Homo-oligomer: A and B are copies of this chain.
Amino acid sequence: MYHISVVCCMNVRRMVRALTVPALGLLALLCLFSSEPVQAGKVLVVPVDGSHWLSMKILVEELSRRGHEMVVLVPETSVLIGKSGNYTTKSFRVPYTLDDLKANLDNIEKNAFEKPPKLTDIFENVGNLIQFLNMQVKACEGLLYDESLMKSLSETGFDVVLTDPFLPCGTIIADSFLIPSVYFLRLIPCLLDEAATQCPSPPSFVPRFFTGFSDKMTFHQRVENTLMTVFEAFLCRKLFAGTDELASRYLQKDTTYKELLSHGAVWLFRYDFTFEFPKPQMPNMVQIGGINCAKKGPLTKELEEFVNGSGEHGFVVFTLGSMVSQLPEAKAREFFEAFRQIPQRVLWRYTGPVPENAPKNVKLMKWLPQNDLLGHPKVKAFITHGGSHGIYEGICNGVPMVMLPLFGDQGDNVQRLVSRGVAETLSIYDLTSEKLLVALRKVINDKSYKEKMTELSAIHRDRPIEPLDLAVFWTEFVMRHKGAAHLRPAAHELNWIQYHSLDVIGFLILILVTVIFVTVKSCMFCFRKCFKKTQKKKKE
């Protein structure tokens, strides 16, 4: 199979200025046939269910369209990973039911809606996360020890494993099959991604997750951030203890998840610096933020009529992500009450009970074409929980936001937009219709929100290459070159003490102290000698 290489396209661009228009067809044709053939590869996809899958699916389908054979491993309790003509799925058994998974999620939701946020939440969050990860490690164990499935996968001869390292199974399989891996992620809990890439992350200007800090911190915040960095190292051990044990047992070598991750060829990170604060990067880290909002479709006739009927006031889009479509009744009432008092129409993904006197400017739906709606010229604001997918749909389309973080990285995501002056944030726990109204009116009527968001959106979209093309390029690169060894820093061969040059500093201090000691002793010795002589002379 052939495709026009990017390089070729770049040349079209340069040559096009020198050519007459009718020559363009011929040029494109030449380009098509002179470009390098791309070998169709075999890609094993080990995804994470839920919203994580929604953006990875875009890359999986594009790779499939480019002729690669895609095999997706799907747990039998999958929520969002469906079958498709574009890829083969292989299902595997898991030792829990869909209800177990939902119970875990409900627990987290309940916390967000019913309890005031407090410092000790982090321990509860960590507890929930450990419970969730242990569940997933059990599932992974089932998969790894399913001999017939693993044998058939092994015999397929995959070129690369494409996985979201939020969960460890893909990485263990890649090591077991001796094939390179490409990671597709927002982050790994406890920022294990930074440790595994050996990426410097100074706590003085890189805020830790769960702190809610920006990159500009006071002394007090820097102290907290440094303590959080120490805590993270401890957290990583706790979170992935089960993974480390499984990996060592299955691969029959003494290893850790971090060690396995460090062999990842390329890391595709779903962020860029219109969202994330500027921070150091390593050569094999590639930014593909906004990969999820490239494709826009037309609205249905019904939706088009509803949003166009909003007149000059426009409309507001409200969703709390792919996993949360209900709210406690009292909480929902506050939203209905606020929406009643604004001139905008509201499109709300909501499946809970509806009060009798629900305002008429509100349209409730089971599912919203979020990105298509946010791309509509009449949209005025986006009420969101602050998941990274929704945030990028807001940035791509330049829509100011009111943000209601629920759990996980959402509190920190929100901070990134609030600090840029393009969003307001509210706590869902003590949300009232008045507070919501104030925030909504602010982002809609105060023009600075829209102006700053339009500028941020322009910067985000002004890039030399589209995120999807970049993700495809690097996945194919890893297939072509069987990894990306030239991007692997020598830091991976150092331990923590060596990496930070603590042994060298210790050695230099030792030498310095020895030199000072010997010098002082020598001086004292000479001084004493001279002093004694003087005393003797005096006595004489």
Q: Pick from B62, B278, B487, B501: contact of A486, CB below 8 A.
A: B278
Judged by DSSP, the binding face of A is helix
Q: Which residue of B lies closest to A493 (CB)?
A: B216
Alpha-carbon gap, A279 to B499, bound state (A): 13
Q: Pick from B17, B280, B486: contact of A273, CB below 8 A.
A: B486
**A98 contacts B by Cβ under 8 Å:** no
The reply to whether A494 and B205 form a contact with Cβ atoms under 8 Å apart is yes
Instruction: Please provide the chain A residues from 484 to 529 with a CB less than 8 Å away from any CB of chain B in the complex.
Output: 486-491, 493-494, 498-501, 503-505, 507-508
CB distance from A86 to the nearest CB of B (A): 14
Alpha-carbon gap, A489 to B277, bound state (A): 7
Q: Which residue of B lies closest to A502 (CB)?
A: B204
Q: Which of A216, A466, A503 has the most C-beta atoms of chain B within 10 angstroms of its own C-beta?
A: A466
CB distance from A296 to the nearest CB of B (A): 13
Instruction: Please provide the chain A residues from 132 to 185 with a CB less than 8 Å away from any CB of chain B in the complex.
Output: none
Apart from the given pairs A12-B28, A204-B498, A462-B481, 6 other A-B contacts in the complex at a CB distance below 8 Å: A4-B13, A6-B9, A203-B504, A215-B490, A278-B282, A456-B486
A222-B501, A498-B222 given; A280·B200 CB < 8 A = yes
CB distance from A347 to the nearest CB of B (A): 29
**A202 contacts B by Cβ under 8 Å:** yes
Which residues on B sit within 8 Å (CB–CB) of A277? Answer: 489-490
Which residues on B sit within 8 Å (CB–CB) of A470? Answer: 464
Which residues on B sit within 8 Å (CB–CB) of A274? Answer: 486
The reply to whether B469 and A481 form a contact with Cβ atoms under 8 Å apart is no
**A465 contacts B by Cβ under 8 Å:** yes
The reply to whether A32 and B6 form a contact with Cβ atoms under 8 Å apart is no
**A16 contacts B by Cβ under 8 Å:** yes
User: How would residues 212 to 233 of chain A score, 1 for a CB under 8 Å from any chain B CB and 0 otherwise?
Assistant: 0011100100110011000000
A residues contacting B by CB (< 8 A) are 3-7, 9-14, 16-17, 21-22, 24-29, 32, 62, 65-66, 199-200, 202-205, 214-216, 219, 222-223, 226-227, 273-274, 277-284, 456, 458-459, 462-466, 469-470, 473-474, 477, 480-481, 486-491, 493-494, 498-501, 503-505, 507-508
The reply to whether A280 and B282 form a contact with Cβ atoms under 8 Å apart is yes
The reply to whether A21 and B32 form a contact with Cβ atoms under 8 Å apart is yes
CB distance from A5 to the nearest CB of B (A): 8
Which residues on B sit within 8 Å (CB–CB) of A25? Answer: 22, 24-26, 28
A280-B280, A465-B464 given; A486·B498 CB < 8 A = no
Alpha-carbon gap, A204 to B494, bound state (A): 8
Q: Which of A199, A459, A503 has the most C-beta atoms of chain B within 10 angstroms of its own C-beta?
A: A459
Q: Which of A199, A200, A505 has the most C-beta atoms of chain B within 10 angstroms of its own C-beta?
A: A200
A277-B490, A486-B459 given; A32·B10 CB < 8 A = no
The reply to whether A504 and B17 form a contact with Cβ atoms under 8 Å apart is no
Which residues on B sit within 8 Å (CB–CB) of A205? Answer: 489-491, 494, 499
Which residues on B sit within 8 Å (CB–CB) of A481? Answer: 458-459, 462
Alpha-carbon gap, A5 to B280, bound state (A): 29
The reply to whether B10 and A469 form a contact with Cβ atoms under 8 Å apart is yes
CB distance from A214 to the nearest CB of B (A): 8
Q: Which of A25, A222, A282 has the most C-beta atoms of chain B within 10 angstroms of its own C-beta?
A: A25
Which residues on B sit within 8 Å (CB–CB) of A9? Answer: 6, 9-10, 12-13
Which residues on B sit within 8 Å (CB–CB) of A508? Answer: 223, 226-227
CB distance from A202 to the nearest CB of B (A): 6
A202-B491, A215-B489 given; A464·B469 CB < 8 A = yes
The reply to whether B12 and A3 form a contact with Cβ atoms under 8 Å apart is no
Q: Which residue of B lies closest to A280 (CB)?
A: B280
CB distance from A32 to the nearest CB of B (A): 7
4 shortest interchain CB distances as A-B pairs: A25-B25, A200-B200, A9-B9, A215-B490
Alpha-carbon gap, A480 to B464, bound state (A): 14
The reply to whether A24 and B29 form a contact with Cβ atoms under 8 Å apart is yes
Q: Which residue of B lies closest to A26 (CB)?
A: B25
Q: Pick from B3, B12, B459: contact of A17, CB below 8 A.
A: B3
CB distance from A356 to the nearest CB of B (A): 48
The reply to whether A278 and B13 form a contact with Cβ atoms under 8 Å apart is no
Q: Pick from B13, B222, B273, B490: contact of A3, CB below 8 A.
A: B13
A28-B27, A490-B205 given; A465·B10 CB < 8 A = yes
Alpha-carbon gap, A477 to B460, bound state (A): 11
Q: Which residue of B lies closest to A17 (CB)?
A: B3
The reply to whether A501 and B280 form a contact with Cβ atoms under 8 Å apart is no
Which residues on B sit within 8 Å (CB–CB) of A464? Answer: 6, 465, 469-470, 473-474
The reply to whether A280 and B199 form a contact with Cβ atoms under 8 Å apart is yes
Alpha-carbon gap, A457 to B474, bound state (A): 17
Which residues on B sit within 8 Å (CB–CB) of A5? Answer: 13
Which residues on B sit within 8 Å (CB–CB) of A3? Answer: 13, 16-17
Q: Which residue of B lies closest to A1 (CB)?
A: B17
Which residues on B sit within 8 Å (CB–CB) of A219? Answer: 503-504, 507
